[in-house]
Structure 1
Amino acid sequence: MTEQHSTLRAQRRAETQRLLQTHAIRLFTERGYDATTVNDVAGAAGVSPMTVYRHFPTKEDLVLIDQYGQLIAEQIAASPAAQPLVRRIGGALIESARTLTGGRHGGDLTPNEQFLLARLRLMISTPALRAKHLDNHYALQQAIVAALDDDGAEPDTAFLAQAAASACLAAMHTALVRWAEDDGRTELPDLIAKAFAAAFGDDIVGTD
């Protein structure tokens, strides 16, 4: 019963966070990031400013906080340990992007794609968010390294994992910027796969 209640609380928390972020991204896009206050977001969501701060300690967090690191880590942990590091990481990033964007097959952007695209544009165009985005990038790199961790590995395994994660995230960032510039016309997983192929070779997302 306790575990069920804990799960329900986590689900409600995630739903509240997504609601707040949806309103925040919309207002930031319509009015501008600097011109929109946390009180504005709270009013649009029908909650108190204290509720917003409970979920997002700073205004920047309304754009930057996400659960994507956990999703990517789960994908990596489920991948075959015998695969090269770059393939494990690259495959996880592509599959996570497919999950997050809603699996569009041509046509109009899905609601998830619209949200992610607006969020990405804000991170690219807002100086305060660009600076803090580096912290998120490092946190995601560390989540990837932790997912690749092997207690019986050689001492330099963490270094190799960090190098592979950093290279993969750099390639993904290039794909994300292109996706924003392209107004989301090309499906994000395909762009990420192209970036990995350019950086690491055509077989990077293949199977052994």
Structure 2
Amino acid sequence: MTSASPAPSLRERKKIRTRQTIRRAAYRLFAEHGYDATRVDTIAAAAEVSPSTVFRYFPTKEDIVVTDEDDPVFEAALRSRPADEAPLTALRAAIHQTLDELYVTPEAMAEVHLRMRLVATVPTIRARMKENAAANADLLTRALTARTGHAADSLELRVFVGSLIGGLTEALMYWAESGLEEDVRTLVDRAMTVLDRDLAD
């Protein structure tokens, strides 16, 4: 197994807290007034920061919804999996671990539900999520290059990563569009089973 990532520095922890404060203020306002009616300067005032600080952490209002602190947790979970584990098995376990670590409280799940409802109903957020897919692809490519030995620019790895991101994105959209009533872990498993077995079942 690879070693765990080092703990974030004090500076990084402060940045994470500021991001979370801005995001939580935004979610509260989105829930009360709607996404389109909520201005960035209103979010800044509620978070007790300047509008320029909001834009420093979130270049667009849509980024408040589509970005989160999941990536370092997921990458550390994936890198901690046994080196001889099949890629999809390792990815499935890392996703479950990330969900279990970050989304265990009712408040956290309420935020996830609000985010997914916004993704499902606001076209600009869906568009921004697609734009940000490249960053997710880079993260997976880094982790899987070390795990599989495939070159980062190999066709096989690019197809695998693209299929995985597309499958997980569709699973989340299905979850949002079907009312968020199913367990997201089950839907993630179903999506990864399709990638593993094709449509044979």
Shorter-chain TM-score: which interval? 0.7 to 0.9
Which residue, 9, 12, 16 being the options, matches 1:10? 12
Higher RCO, 1 vs 2 (CA within 8 Å, ≥6 residues apart): 1
2-structure distance, mates of 1:154, 1:165:
12
1-structure distance, mates of 2:49, 2:148:
49
Code of the residue aligned with 2:192 in structure 1: it is: F
Q: Residues 157 and 75 (structure 1 numbering): CA distance in 2 closer, same or farther, change over 3 Å?
A: farther
Count matched residues: 191
TM-score by structure 2 length?
0.81
Equivalent in the alignment of 2:32: 30
Equivalent in the alignment of 2:93: 91
Query: Matched residues, percent identical?
Result: 27
Please give the per-residue CA displacement for 1:135-184, whole angstroms capped at 9, x wherever unaligned: 22221111011012239935587433332222222222232123323443
3-state SS of paired residue (1:53): helix
Please give the per-residue CA displacement for 1:1-35, whole angstroms capped at 9, x wherever unaligned: xxxxx712211211111111111122223322222
Equivalent in the alignment of 2:180: 184
Paired residues of 1:117 and 1:183 also in contact (CA < 8 A): no
How far residue 67 of structure 1 moved from its aligned partner, in angstroms, is 2.4
Q: Residues 12 and 198 (structure 1 numbering): CA distance in 2 closer, same or farther, change over 3 Å?
A: same
Code of the residue aligned with 1:65 in structure 2: it is: T
Q: Residues 101 and 183 (structure 1 numbering): CA distance in 2 closer, same or farther, change over 3 Å?
A: farther
Which residue, 106, 111, 116 being the options, matches 1:120? 116
2-structure distance, mates of 1:91, 1:16:
29
Q: Residues 99 and 162 (structure 1 numbering): CA distance in 2 closer, same or farther, change over 3 Å?
A: farther
Paired residues of 1:85 and 1:164 also in contact (CA < 8 A): no
Equivalent in the alignment of 1:52: 54
Equivalent in the alignment of 2:79: 77
Code of the residue aligned with 2:189 in structure 1: it is: A
Which residue, 133, 158, 167 being the options, matches 1:162? 158
Q: Residues 76 and 67 (structure 1 numbering): CA distance in 2 closer, same or farther, change over 3 Å?
A: same
1-structure distance, mates of 2:150, 2:22:
44
3-state SS of paired residue (1:60): helix
Alignment map for 1:188-203 (pairs within 5 Å) = 188-201=184-197
TM-score by structure 1 length?
0.79
Matched, 1:66 2:68: yes
Matched, 1:137 2:133: yes
2-structure distance, mates of 1:155, 1:143:
14
Equivalent in the alignment of 1:206: none
Structure 1 unaligned regions, length at least 5: 1-5, 105-109, 202-208
Q: Which stretches of structure 1, 4 residues or longer, exceed 6 Å deviation after superposition?
A: none
